[in-house]
Amino acid sequence: MSPRLLIVDDNEPFLEAATRLLEADGLQVVGVAGTTAEAMARQRDLRPDIILVDINLGGENGTELARLLAGPAAAGSHRVILISTYPAQDLTDLVEALPGVGFLSKSQLSGSAIRDLIEEYEGRGGGGA
């Protein structure tokens, strides 16, 4: 069965393009959200396997949302992947300090990149849904 994704980003054109791209790559996008409140509600209602979270959510903090979604207080176990237009090397310390799977630059976003990151995470002993 194909992994179920929730994409959290405040950029509507990106949400549409990412949904098309990832669904064409065999992933199932079950929902999108543009704010922390929407993301929390959708993760609770939809129970995705993987949540992609943009680091910069307009006036909100995507890293704090990632903490909420992937931390021990989260309902269920979620695989959270941070995404951004910034390159990974600019965000290494930030990403390593957060719970979750890791980071993908938006320019590298694909079904295979997500699968590879999840496989690498699980190989390091990461668990999840």
Give the 3-state secondary structure of the chain. CCCEEEEECCCHHHHHHHHHHHHHCCCEEEEEECCHHHHHHHHHHHCCCEEEEECEECCEEHHHHHHHHHCCCCCCCCEEEEEECCCHHHCHHHHHCCCCCEEEEHHHCCHHHHHHHHHHHHHCCCCCC
- Bridge-based pairing of strands 50-54 and 4-8 is parallel
Identify the pLDDT of residue 10.
96
The tokens describing 71, both together, are 């931390």
Identify the pLDDT of residue 120.
85
CB 116 within 8 A of CB 81: no
Q: What is the pLDDT along the chain (129 residues), one digit of tens a residue?
A: 788 999 999 999 999 999 999 999 999 999 999 999 999 999 999 999 999 999 888 888 888 888 888 765 555 556 899 998 876 656 566 666 666 778 888 999 999 999 998 888 777 766 544
Identify the pLDDT of residue 71.
67
The tokens describing 14, both together, are 């990106």
Identify the pLDDT of residue 129.
42
Q: List, in order of start, the domains of the chain with CATH numbers.
A: 4-123 (3.40.50.2300)
